Structure 1
Amino acid sequence: MVVLRLLPRLLLQLQHHQQHLDPMEDAEKTLVALLATPMAAMEVAVLLTGIYCGTTPTHCQASSGCQNGCIATPPDSTPSGTTTSAAEPVIGPATSSIPPQATATAKVTTDGTCGTTNNNEVCGNWPNGNCCSAYGFCGSTSAHCGGGCQSGNCLNAPAVAAPGPSPAPLAPNGGSFEIVGQSGVPAMHAALMPNGKVMFLDKLENYTQLKTANGYYAMSSEYDPVTHAVVPLTYLTNAFCSGGTFLADGRVISVGGNAPLTWLDPNIGDGFDAIRYLGRSSSNKAPDGQGWSEPGNKLASARWYATAQTMPDGTVFVASGSLNGLDPTVLANNNPTYEILSPQAVTQGKNIPMDILVKNQPYYMYPFVHLLNDGNLFVFVSKSAQVFNVGSNTIVKALPDLPGEYRTYPNTGGSVMMPLSSKNNWAPDIIICGGGAYQDITSPTDPSCGRIQPLSDNPKWEMESMPEGRGMVEGTLLADGTVLFLNGGNRGAQGFGLMQNPTLEALLYDPSQPLGKRFTTAASSTVPRLYHSVALMTLDGCVLVTGSNPVEMPKLAPDAKDPYVTDFRVEKYTPPYLQGDNANKRPTNIVLSTLDVKTGGQFKITLTAPANAKTVKVMLYHGGFVTHSVHMGHRMLELDTAGWVQGQTAQTLTVTAPPNTKVAPPGPYVVYCLVDGVPGMGQFVQVS
């Protein structure tokens, strides 16, 4: 009878833990469900006896039934100077009511800040440039001198206008989307692991679909694209908006993050300077649930929204980030530096100022970075780009600004380096699409794309455009060397609740086609994929799409305040090359002579081709670390092959490996064999 009298409170506790049982179940079933987990059982005991003391939210919050010594809100145990919740750094729209002529005699800056938010100071002869940007920083880029420029040599119009929307005809075969599973945790970060499964990683949340052995909600999971099984993974530090890359030994790392939120989980600590490791091997075929390893290695400084890239020698370049998650228009909050980690991801302990990050504050976080075939980096942030030498900390080549709106966080578009090939001596060719004007739900988004060959003699942006503006659009390489652009929205920006008008249709981009004929419209999803969603190719040549968590804490039912909420559904996008009869035309019995591919060498592949097959192509693919529509380390190479006999079913190919680790930095890759454009199942190899 005591249980029946307490059933209403038990049901409230059950709802608090989001177990989602039918409230009409009888008391016995409800109590059994409540006792199913250690944490819930303990709370039932508290309700029944009232004799348990403690300091957790369950003990101390009045909303959880606290009887005495209670607090109204969760305790704030976050370190001083850091955020106290899961909020995002907000830049917001910037406007100036001070006409340029009114500031002509204003005080000259001494720190590079200017404008209405900085005592109406002007830039004068500030070394970075004399334009005072809309956000109050001195510089000379189009982001400083263009729209919103407050003083200095402001531009009335951009030198080159970005194109508006362009039609993209329907693809003859646009592929298809299918909902196939559940991610277990919101998919803020993702990576295809060497065991063929996908790692999802999230920030601290008050609800996920999985729990760890200690009874707390899991913040990471491992998903099997074949069986759709998902298991929880543990971690020790808050990975909110971290960066990541794969090490030369095949492990993936997550770097940086955010503050501890002990009211959510007292077991998870400060992640601002954390380095997390997750290892899987191609021989590990089952999700074993082995969690992230955090032996105590730390970054040289706090980094929230950092980008990482593995270098030719196996060291790791880590750049940018917020020191504390606070207002990025305040210089003291920002970390426009880079540091180098060893091949084992141990920092050298030096924070080195980086020119392009310093000059482009507050739009300096999550820069696009691509390793070029000369060992230097292509770095893009805001609207600016350069070729950068990490070893000497020098700018090898300043590239033109990309016309259009902002392209990186919080108005991130998508950036992809086209497949590299010996046919043009592995020369890089990079495209950046989408973006937006400012960080607000009212921001227009940019339909334009810029494509550039950064190592050419006279690099210039070749402009083209998508059918509509898109923010948070992801560019994902497909096995045949084309690019799939998907996800995001047509209005707004990155940040909680700041995007609307989701763009559901996918676009196919064929880089081999002439300008104006590269985009076609593919299939449409039924699932909005807004802030914190991901897309990546799996071993079968399809694309896994999941996520969208545009609310501060998970929310399962939309309402007027939050029309777009947390989504755990996993979709499979099947590209045209596997649609219809093509699915039965895959090459089979693919065997590699080695899974340890040495640059500069060769290896053999045997396979069975369909009858009367005409062509073969071997692609080497690295999916990288995916977050916030940034695909860190993402790259593909078309390898030279010999030995193909047209029309023969049993084939033996001699494949030439990449020439060096500048072209293919060390780490895990997938080999895809395509016969007449249809890929067989990919196989992981280790490149060194």
Structure 2
Amino acid sequence: MGSSMATGVVVQLLFFGFQLVALLMSGAVLQVEAQGTWEILVENAGIASMHTAITRFNTAVLLDRTDIGASQLALPNEECRNDRQDESLQHDCTAHSAVLDLGTNRIRPLFVQTDTWCSSGQFRDDGTLVQTGGDNDGYSKIRTFTPCPGDGDCNWVETDVPLVEGRWYASNAQLPDGTQILVGGRNNPTVEFVPANGRGATYVPLIGNANDGQADNLYPYVHLLPNDQIFMFANQYSILFDWKTVTAVKQLPNLPGGPRNYPSAGSSVLLPLSAYIDYALPEVVVCGGATYGAFLNPGAALPATTSCGRIAPLSEGANWQMENMPLRRNMGDMVLLPDRTVLIVNGAANGAQGWGNAQNPVLTPVLYNPNGAVGRRFQVLTGTKIARVYHSTANLLPDGRVLIAGSNTHQFYTLTGYLATELRIEAYSPAYLRGNRPVIAYAPGELAYNERFEARVENANPRAIELNLVSAAYSTHSFGQGQRLIELNAAVPAAAGGGAYTVAANAPPSAVIAPAAYYMLFAVSEGIPSVAQWVHVG
């Protein structure tokens, strides 16, 4: 270990120790105990995954930028990428995208031509990943990846139809009509649709007005709500947005505590939607972020915030309820877990997003329980030894683990020194992966909206069985685009013999609740999830 890396590790340990003592004295931490385990799945993936998505074939799509020089992963069969517009390496025989087979942990290189730096994406209803924008020659590109089993040869396809306007640092959301809305981007305060179907780009004042001099309006938080409107958030401002008329319908109160989007990014999720209350009163939570000025003054190492805001945007008199995380964090990733809790992982305690702007990586995740009392919702978990800061990702896996990848605080691959480019891929196993897990012995592979269906569940307590659908998010830059969890109305189980139970439930009522797509169906018993079965809803 070099002297600079050793110094960084010591600083991080001292920082965490002092912070934890202060928290214990203040009583702000619910629990501090070893919770969950970490394992390295791949020692060298060859690329640092800036964008990660999990497919219905139990593979992970990994994607970095192209203008970064040679990666550590060769393209097969002496294939090379030739691009006269590439700003680093115009003849490149290495891959900048790959597929990880989650069953074997094998990496297969993929070929992507145009620059995907800080682009965005979302799954289409047929399971195809639509990937949009980027920098340089990728600025107006639409790419698709139709996944296949791990031993298949599926690859990226770059379409000939461009975006209406270029997108760099934008966010995507799947809509009930099967199209995707693309929101914002650097120097682009508009929205557009893919496919456009004749629609152009429309200016959105929220995005334009949220640029505060350091562009804290990038990668906006976009959540489709059960009333068919969009909760749209940039910087510390939010609106309800009608995607059909492409207009803002309500201005919501500002979130206190400074900017929350790139480059001062915290993270955000739409909390689980529940059939038991007819999917009413959705809530959004935003946690973490950087101090304003941290991006403009990287040497100052300004502290990140501990604050979280939670709002029910459709309620009368909607306002932010504030609380504090146990640890300061920006660049964290919030992941909805199948037991309806939220993992907050990755990030740094000082600085902001950008090359070389982060200091004091936060190695310790926390768990957020939305159903806990205010001030008692957080639990400190077992930490990793691998720093994940700028350009890191976190995705829920069908077996209940969380895939952690990426981290590159440098313009190019820098494999030595403090906060080196991270090519290892980890999995975090939450504490619920213990004991005798329930098993989905049968569930239909297709669910029509509002269809009454039955699942056969084994190894479960019949008095405590949940059926929860979780989408496959596109994780990038501290935001899981398209992430949502839907708690179905599981009926009282009926004994099916042999210790198994038949559980009946209704599929989501419409594409407003669950846009057509492939979802992971989990059976959860006493907080312990099964391995998910992929089902198509729509």
TM norm. shorter chain > 0.5:
yes
What is the CA-CA distance between 1:195 and the residue it aligns to? 0.6
Q: Note if 1:209 corresponds to 2:72.
A: yes
1:374 to 227, 232, 248: 227
SS of aligned partner of 1:402:
coil
Shift in CA distance, 254/240, structure 1 to aligned 2, threshold 3 Å: same
Given the superposition, is the C-alpha separation of residues 647 and 405 from structure 1 closer, same or farther in structure 2, using an over 3 Å criterion? farther
Pick from 143, 166, 169 the counterpart of residue 276 of structure 1: 143
Question: Are positions 1:540 and 2:399 aligned together?
Answer: yes
Give how far 1:207 is off.
Answer: 3.0
Of 410, 434, 447, the match for 2:288 = 434
* Cα shift at 1:683: 1.3
Counterpart of 2:340 in 1: which secondary structure?
Answer: coil
| Structure ranking higher in strand proportion | 2
**Residue 576 of structure 1 aligns to a residue in which SS?**
coil
Q: Name the residue aligned to 1:628.
A: 477
Higher deviation after alignment, 403-412 or 211-220: 211-220
Q: Report the Cα offset of residue 171 of structure 1.
A: 5.0
1:401 aligned residue (231, 251, 254) = 254
CA contact (8 A) 1:479 1:672 kept: yes
**2:367 corresponds to 1:508:** yes
Amino acid at match of 1:446: T
CA-CA distance at 1:507 after TM superposition: 0.1
Do the aligned partners of residues 657 and 613 (structure 1) sit closer, same or farther apart at CA in structure 2, a change above 3 Å counting? closer
On the 8 A contact 1:166/1:468 being kept in 2, the answer is no
Shift of 1:535: 0.5
Q: In the TM superposition, what is the alpha-carbon distance from 1:425 to its structure 2 partner?
A: 2.4
Distance in 1 of aligned mates of 2:392 and 2:27 = 26
1:529-608 alignment to 2 at 5 Å?
Answer: 529-558=388-417, 563-579=418-434, 582=435, 585-588=436-439, 590-592=441-443, 594-608=444-458
Report deviation, 1:478.
0.8
Per the normalisation by structure 2, the TM-score is 0.88
- Write out per-residue CA displacement over residues 191-237 of structure 1, whole angstroms, 9 at most, x where no aligned residue: 11111111011101223231213141101010122211111011121
The CA distance in 1 between the partners of 2:485 and 2:348, in whole Å, is: 27
State the secondary structure of the residue aligned to 1:523: coil
After superposition, what is the alpha-carbon deviation per residue over 1:149-173, rounded to whole angstroms, capped at 9, x for unaligned? Answer: xxxxxxxxxxxxxxxx973243555
Does the Cα contact within 8 Å between 1:471 and 1:493 map onto a contact in 2? yes
Alignment correspondent of 1:103: none
> Is the alpha carbon distance of 1:347 and 1:296 closer, same or farther for their aligned partners in structure 2, counting shifts above 3 Å?
farther
Letter in 2 for 1:456: S
Q: Is the 8 A contact 1:434 1:446 kept in 2?
A: yes
Q: How many residues align?
A: 487
Identity rate, percent: 33
Report the TM-score when normalising by structure 1: 0.69
Is the partner of 1:365 in helix, strand or coil?
coil
1:606, 1:171 → 2: CA distance?
37
Q: Check conservation: 1:298, 1:347, Cα contact below 8 A.
A: no
Match of 1:231 among 108, 111, 118: 108
* Partner residue in 1 for 2:133: 256
Q: 1:178 aligns with which of 39, 59, 73?
A: 39
Give 3-state SS (helix, strand or coil) of 2:276's partner: helix
Please tell me the residue identity of whatever aligns with 1:510.
N
Q: What is the match of residue 71 of structure 1?
A: none
How far has the Cα of 1:500 moved from its partner?
A: 0.5
Report which of the two structures shows the higher radius of gyration computed on alpha carbons: 1
Alignment of 1:485-500 (within 5 A): 485-500=344-359
- For the 8 Å contact 2:496–2:502, the answer to whether it is kept is no
Cα deviation, 1:236-290, whole Å, max 9, x if unaligned, reads 211100011111221111110011xxxxxxxxxx10000110112xxx4324242
Separation of aligned partners in 2, 1:484 and 1:646: 34
1:130-149 map, 5 Å: none
SS state of the match for residue 642, structure 1?
coil
Contact 2:493 2:502 in 1 (8 A): yes
Cα pair 1:383 1:402 within 8 Å, conserved: yes
C-alpha distance in 2, partners of 1:171/1:417?
Answer: 26
Q: Which runs of 4+ in 1 moved over 6 A?
A: none
Residue in structure 2 matched with residue 12 of structure 1 by the alignment: none
TM-superposed CA distance for 1:554, in Å, is 0.5
In the TM superposition, 1:303-342 aligns within 5 A as 303-322=167-186, 334-342=187-195
Q: CA deviation at 1:613?
A: 5.2
1:293-304, aligned counterparts within 5 Å? 293-304=157-168
- Between the aligned partners of 2:123 and 2:496, the Cα distance in structure 1 is 39
The residue type equivalent to 1:201 in the other structure is L
Q: Do residues 615 (structure 1) and 477 (structure 2) align?
A: no
Alignment gaps of 5+ in structure 2: 1-25, 81-92
Matched with 2:17 is none
Q: Which amino acid aligns with 2:252?
A: L
- 1:317 partner SS: strand
**SS at structure 2 position matched to 1:191:** strand
CA distance in 2, matches of 1:483, 1:364: 24
Partner SS, residue 177 of structure 1? strand
Secondary structure in 1 matching 2:432? helix
Shift of 1:536: 0.7
* C-alpha distance in 2 between matches for 1:221 and 1:229: 10
More relative contact order, 1 or 2 (CA 8 Å, 6+ apart) = 2
Alignment partners' CA distance in 2, 1:599 and 1:192: 23
- Look up the SS of the partner of 1:357 in the other structure: helix
Q: Distance between the aligned counterparts of 2:94 and 2:469, measured in 1? A: 37
Tell me the secondary structure at the aligned position of residue 331 of structure 2: coil
1:341–1:348 contact (8 Å) kept in structure 2 = no
Which structure 1 segments of 5+ residues have no match? 1-164, 260-269, 323-333
> CA deviation digits over 1:103-162, x for unaligned, max 9?
xxxxxxxxxxxxxxxxxxxxxxxxxxxxxxxxxxxxxxxxxxxxxxxxxxxxxxxxxxxx
Q: Which whole-Å CA distance do the structure 2 matches of 1:596 and 1:469 have between them?
A: 43
Q: 1:589 Cα shift?
A: 5.2
